[in-house]
């Protein structure tokens, strides 16, 4: 099965590019974005993914504003044979220049959400270490990921009104990942496995002249499964980004997190991240949340529109909800991003704090599947 990309000298296996190297049904290839205003009053997220073995392509776009509702668009379709075709109904992703600019378009549709926005990178693509998680002898996650920071310009329409996005006042992050992780309908093979706790924390932050990045996966006792931090320069335009990607980022020797939770929930009220360089010098960053976005608006844990689920040859849907009127311990509401003001004692930045904690987690005092913080 061939597509246009097969005409380029980029093959990594003896198969055409449409054939993943693994036959795991949970193989995926995703592009994800967020965007937020410098005053933390508005946020949007968007994503598009292909699941080759499931024959599915899906997408989502969602917005929220301070003291307002979160609006969501979902789309799902039969995946095209042509991998360069990134269209799902009224939604499409255009790569204007790889690792430099991308355009998101959502044409008018029944949900009342629409957009036409361009993301311009302001950093190099920052590759994270390969992320592998195990459940017994099974790899439940085996993915490569990179993040890229930038700015946005364009327009957004919502059921509550329209707004304009400009590069001076809108920041954002692009997140590309591919590999294996649990998506779509569960594939049960043999004896069921016991539940395993899950903790994830991600903190991509923008400062005046650089960015910082930290990612954590923890086990139930708080043990580090994945733990990584880095810093990288921030450029004024995509043209300034060097073509040579090596040695652009400064990796940390270690990274540590501390999270305080709202009483009775698993939602962070504040967090601290220590970036410890290779010489042992510690930079402590304090994160104060200002705006909350629920990741179910992009399909993460959504009961009706989960990622990688078959909805037919083409289906779109949407919903709106008040983030302040949710049961924060309901499974679909645990996964959030919060736009935070970041401080390290000498400077101030802004960025996202993404988190989800499911099951017992000793550092927070969680002992059950969905109990909340006692303090």
Q: Is the pLDDT of residue 246 over 60?
A: no
Cβ atoms of residues 285 and 342 within 8 Å? yes
Q: What is the mean pLDDT of the chain?
A: 94
Q: What is the pLDDT of residue 44?
A: 98
Question: Residue 187: is its pLDDT beyond 80?
Answer: no
Q: Which position has the higher pLDDT, 256 or 25?
A: 256
Q: What angle do CA 22, 332, 195 make, to 5 degrees?
A: 60
Is pLDDT of 188 > 80? no
Report yes or no: 106 and 61 within 8 Å, Cβ to Cβ: yes
Instruction: List the domains of the chain with CATH numbers.
Output: 28-185+196-364 (2.40.370.10)
Query: Is residue 244 predicted with pLDDT exceeding 90?
Result: no
Of the two residues 275 and 10, the one the predictor is more confident about is: 275
d(CA 71, CA 73): 7
Q: Which of 115, 108, 116 is nearest to 63 (CA)?
A: 115
Q: At 247, is the pLDDT very low, low, confident or very high (cuts 50, 70, 90)?
A: low
H-helix segments, 265-326: none
Residue 38 to residue 33: CA distance in whole angstroms: 16
State how far the Cα of 324 lies from the Cα of 294, in Å rounded to an integer: 11
Q: What mean pLDDT comes out for the span 67-83?
A: 96
Q: pLDDT > 70: what percent of the chain?
A: 99
Please tell me the distance from the alpha carbon of residue 243 to that of residue 198, in angstroms, as a whole number: 37
pLDDT in tens, 157-180: 999 999 999 999 999 999 999 999
Given this model, what pLDDT does residue 95 score? 96
> Among 10-24, 76-90, 288-302, 359-373, which stretch is predicted with the lowest mean pLDDT?
10-24
Range 293-316 average pLDDT: 97
Asked whether the predicted pLDDT for residue 213 surpasses 60, the reply is: yes
pLDDT, position 5: 86
Task: Name the nearest CA neighbour of 74 among 64, 86, 83, 61.
Answer: 61
């Amino acid at each position: 099965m061939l597509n246009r990309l097969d005409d380029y000298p980029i093959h990594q296996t003896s198969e055409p590019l449409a054939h993943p190297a693994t036959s795991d049904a949970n193989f995926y290839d995703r592009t994800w974005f967020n965007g937020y205003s410098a005053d933390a009053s508005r946020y949007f997220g968007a994503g598009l993914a292909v699941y080759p073995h499931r024959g599915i392509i899906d997408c989502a776009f969602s917005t929220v504003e301070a003291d307002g509702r979160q609006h969501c668009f979902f789309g799902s379709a039969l995946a095209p044979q042509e991998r360069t075709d990134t269209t799902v109904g009224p939604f499409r992703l255009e790569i204007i220049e790889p690792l430099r600019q991308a355009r998101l378009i959502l044409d008018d549709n029944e949900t009342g959400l629409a957009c036409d926005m361009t993301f311009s990178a302001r950093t190099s693509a920052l590759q994270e270490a390969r992320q592998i998680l195990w459940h017994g002898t099974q790899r439940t996650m085996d993915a490569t990921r990179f993040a890229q920071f930038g700015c946005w310009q364009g327009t957004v329409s919502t059921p509550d009104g329209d707004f304009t996005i400009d590069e001076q006042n809108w920041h954002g992050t692009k997140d590309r990942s591919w590999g294996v992780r649990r998506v779509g309908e569960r594939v049960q093979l043999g004896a069921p496995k016991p539940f395993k706790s899950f903790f994830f924390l991600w903190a991509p932050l923008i400062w005046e002249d650089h960015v910082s990045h930290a990612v954590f996966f923890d086990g139930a006792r708080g043990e580090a499964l994945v733990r990584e931090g880095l810093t990288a320069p921030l450029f004024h335009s995509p043209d300034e980004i060097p073509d040579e990607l090596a040695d652009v980022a400064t990796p940390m020797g270690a990274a540590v997190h501390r999270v305080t939770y709202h009483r009775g929930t698993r939602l962070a009220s504040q967090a601290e991240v220590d970036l410890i360089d290779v010489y042992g010098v510690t930079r402590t960053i304090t994160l104060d949340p200002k705006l909350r976005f629920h990741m179910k608006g992009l399909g993460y844990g959504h009961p009706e529109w989960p990622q990688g689920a078959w909805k037919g040859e083409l289906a779109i849907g949407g919903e709106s909800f008040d983030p302040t009127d949710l049961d924060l311990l309901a499974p679909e509401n645990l996964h959030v991003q919060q736009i935070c003001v970041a401080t390290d004692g000498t400077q101030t930045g802004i960025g996202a704090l993404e988190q989800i904690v499911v099951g017992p987690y000793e550092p927070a005092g969680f002992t059950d599947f969905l109990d909340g913080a006692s303090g």
